[in-house]
Amino acid sequence: MAVDAGLMVRARETGEATFRVYGWDRPTLSFGRHERVVGRFDPAVLQARGYGAVRRPTGGRVLLHEDEVTYSVTAPAADGESLRAAFDRINVLLADALRGLGVAPVAAAPAGRERRPGADACFAAPSAGELVVAGRKLVASAQRREAGALLQHGSILLDDRQGTLPSLAVEPMPGPAPAATLRSALGRDVTRAEVRAALRAAVERAYGDVAPLDAGEVDRYAAAWRGHFADAKWTWHR
């Protein structure tokens, strides 16, 4: 989370966009920026069961980072471009990458009033514009804008572990409906390396060759945020 927040600052300062793909060193719950988690989850229970917990700088609801690929996009926010337009631009890249793997996702239609973060999970139902297969969410995404820059986070499911969330909660929580996964869509196991390669190929088809960021530069931008996102007061403040 510190790296993504730092790259958002970098996008604001340099005018450059970054597409980042990463995983987690253990199963981890990530909470949305404005989501209430106090009383719903207990950090001691999660720790005892081997799960980590973080709070994202972006919105949305709780999801479990296990058997999935996490992506982030940081970029300058174009003058006059709506949040939805930027969301759709990123979706074009995601959908192109998924088609390269053999999956044909579509954008979910608006389903009336958008839900506010509550007691359910991120993959319980798609929000408007999120990528779905056969009506089930495959890619969860959330975007934040601030001072001329944007950060979009997302999770692409390799397999569905989201049903574990109610067993980790200390407050009754409805179990999410089965999500779409790359495994169910393709009938085979899909590796993180395959997804990373497909995402890179989609970005290169759209924008040409991409260059890796210097690790030292990334660390400098992330350094100012590490303490913030490591602080339990941030993760468990509401």
pLDDT of res. 78: 84
Examine the pLDDT at 82 and tell me if it is beyond 90. no
Whether 169 contacts 128, CB under 8 Å: no
Question: Of 199, 177, 56, which is closest to residue 126 (Cα–Cα)?
Answer: 177
Which of 3-17, 106-120, 166-180 has the least mean pLDDT? Answer: 106-120
pTM (two decimals): 0.94
pLDDT of res. 79: 84
Which residues partner with 154 through β-bridges?
71, 141
Decide: helix, strand or coil at residue 218.
Answer: helix
Q: Give the Å distances, CA to CA, from 15 to 3, 12, 148, 199.
A: 17, 6, 10, 21
Q: Which CATH superfamily is domain 2-235 in?
A: Bira Bifunctional Protein; Domain 2 (3.30.930.10)
Structure tokens given for 59: 């919105």
**For the segment 205-231, what is each residue's pLDDT rounded down to a tens digit?**
999 999 999 999 999 999 999 999 999
The proportion of the chain whose per-residue pLDDT surpasses 90, expressed as a percent, equals 86
pLDDT of res. 66: 98
Report strand pairing: 68-76 vs 63-65. unpaired
pLDDT of res. 127: 87
Q: Of 46, 97, 122, 179, which one is the catalytic site residue?
A: 122
Whether 43 contacts 37, CB under 8 Å: no
229 is catalytic: no
Going from N- to C-terminal start, the domains of the chain cover 2-235
